[in-house]
A and B are shown apart, each in its own frame.
Chain A
């Protein structure tokens, strides 16, 4: 194997980390960008490049086994994984804390420890706890932490709705597609779906709830866009990366959208998203600007307005115009080639996005295995790790209870 100096090990590790948004750890099996005639050459180049990169994993003497950037592990790391053994008592304790927010009782502990078939005994508890009333509280906490919202009726509405979807065994994609019910309430511990009264013509699940829209208010609606991206796609911006092109700045332009499909000083925008003097703003804003107008009708209180209700960070804080995000004729969209001209269309696009599907699985996985937020703490979950659970999640119609069962009974969760 190639020996790598410690200096080179750092950028290698950085590249490996960030591969999360690209081929090796991409949640989607295919690039997010839509097919394009001009992209054909790029895709072919990419395939060649991946093949060339899939050689021996480098090893640094001071570090031990290191990463193969193709997403697989070196033999030493694989050996470490293989050395784990099932411990259903330890798994029972952790699962109980996660699913019930409580330690197992002495009786439960002894039952699993003394069972002839410990795995079967353990799984019987998982099944029971997924129907335990205590699960509701744990799910509420999970969704509050996922949404970064809670503590008031308005901010509890969306986490409560998400919890209700799970408890009722409904598809999680209803988080984006539900036209009713997303402003859920909690009364005496009982969650009831409720309709939002913030004037939205047609709702799109939690994407149009007043509490969240108010909570993530900002200039140009960019905080709302960022929240949607990080929460449901599990990656920070830039959300889309394509072959780099030189736009005359210090760094290249890497988004799949045409450079001039967003606003700038040359095509009517009051903020120059084409600026490349320091960083290439458009790398992130290409996607952001195609999303933001959809969220810009909500005012600071989360009430829907017919006109745009967000402002620009300029003198006198003028109200944003559509031309501040996009030039005339440019449509909004979820991703390059995935049009979404309304919030319900955006919700549909997200519900059909494999990246979003994988994000749900990765978040459930990180919850079970005690990781931090997948974006805020860069707790990346490679595609290969959750492939089985993701397949079950998709086949089961995106139900989270089944997903939780799959994760909590997985070999990884029960091995130490």
Chain B
């Protein structure tokens, strides 16, 4: 069954729900000669030898009815889901600003986070307006994995830069991601995530560090993991 069939079925199904009469007997204007219309063909273009392209969407991305149904089954009906926040992908430009404000040099070369970011616009769902495609809001596997790659590369830069970042200062004092003993700090996590750190955040962060092969690797994994979790949804 094609999408078009599903849509037709859906329209038919929806009509009674809309409160429209299912009775076809109406005195609304009727075609003059029903059999002619039913035959198609006749030298005009809509016969069997003249069908037309009807693109599924204005761009090339769309959600078909089956996908929408699966979403309803997973998330609930529109009258519920419309009330609650969705998990949308962080926009490409927003990610760039967030990284910059947390100390990442987006102009850096090599295998840096900045270079990865610059090369990842398609994987991160950036728009292609020339093809009439808006920025994607979906978090795909490719998007999530590339985000984590970027965060892993960005973590050492963020840790090093945090004390001097305007976004992480209270007065003249900048927050640090880790204290002198190497433990995670609540202020550092709060600045990293943009929400107040909880005790769970801090404990989880310390666990990441403790379980790594070296403290340096552990700190990077801790920061990258928290960023990835935080930015799975904008």
* A-to-B contact residues, CB < 8 Å: 10-11, 13-25, 36, 38-39, 41-42, 45-50, 53, 63, 65-69, 71-73, 77, 80-81, 84, 89-90, 92-94, 96-98, 101-107, 109-110, 113, 137, 141, 144-146, 148-151, 155, 215-216, 223, 226-227, 230, 238, 241-249, 251-252, 254, 256, 258-261, 264-266, 269-279, 281, 283, 312-314, 365, 369-373, 376-382, 384-386, 412-413, 416
Q: A97-B234, A109-B196, A248-B38 are in contact. Are A272 and B47 (CB under 8 A)?
A: yes
- The reply to whether the CB of B199 lies closer than 8 angstroms to some CB of chain A is no
Query: Number of residue pairs across A and B with beta carbons under 8 Å?
Result: 356
Does B40 lie within 8 Å of A110, measured CB to CB?
A: no
The closest CB in chain A to the CB of B74 belongs to A63
Closest to A156 in B: B129
Residue from A38, A77, A277 in contact with B28 in the complex, judged by beta carbons closer than 8 Å: A38
**B225 within 8 Å of A by Cβ?**
no
> Which residue in B6, B18, B94, B196 is a CB contact (below 8 Å) of A19?
B18
Min CB–CB distance B183 → chain A (angstroms): 18
The verdict on A53 contacting B101 (CB below 8 Å), with A73-B80, A106-B167 known, is no
B198 to chain A, nearest CB (A): 10
**Interface hit among B84-92, B152-160, B216-224:** B84-92
For window 123-177 of B, CB contacts with A under 8 Å fall at 127, 129-130, 132-135, 137-138, 166-170, 175
Is B110 part of the contact surface with A, judged by Cβ < 8 Å? Answer: no
B29 and A259 contact, CB distance less than 8 A = yes
Q: For the side of the interface on B, what is the size category?
A: 35 or more
Q: Report chain A residues within 8 Å CB of B14.
A: 14-15, 17-19, 21-22
Q: Are A45 and B135 in contact (CB under 8 A)?
A: no
Query: Is B211 in the interface zone, CB < 8 Å from A?
Result: no
Q: Does B119 contact A (CB under 8 A)?
A: no
Contacts of A249 in B (CB 8 A): 37-38
Give Cα A312 to B62, complex, Å.
26
Q: Which residues of A contact B42 (CB under 8 A)?
A: 265, 272
Residues in chain B near residue A77, CB distance under 8 A = 76-77, 79-80
- What chain B residues lie within 8 Å of A104 (beta carbons)? 194
- CB <8 Å contact, A270 and B91: no
Cβ-based interface call for B229 (8 A)? no
Our pick among A49, A110, A155, A242 for the contact of B170 (Cβ within 8 Å) is A110
B212 at the interface (CB under 8 A from A): no
Known: A22-B17, A46-B19, A243-B23. A16 touches B77 (CB 8 A): yes
Indicate if B4 sits at the interface (CB-CB under 8 A).
Answer: yes
| B180 at interface, CB cutoff 8 A | no
Contacts of B73 in A (CB 8 A): 13, 63
Flag whether B46 is at the interface (Cβ < 8 A).
yes
Contact, CB under 8 Å: A271 / B45: yes
Q: A247-B31, A382-B82 are in contact. List 10 more A-B contacts (CB 8 A).
A: A23-B17, A46-B19, A53-B17, A65-B76, A71-B79, A110-B190, A110-B196, A244-B20, A245-B24, A260-B31
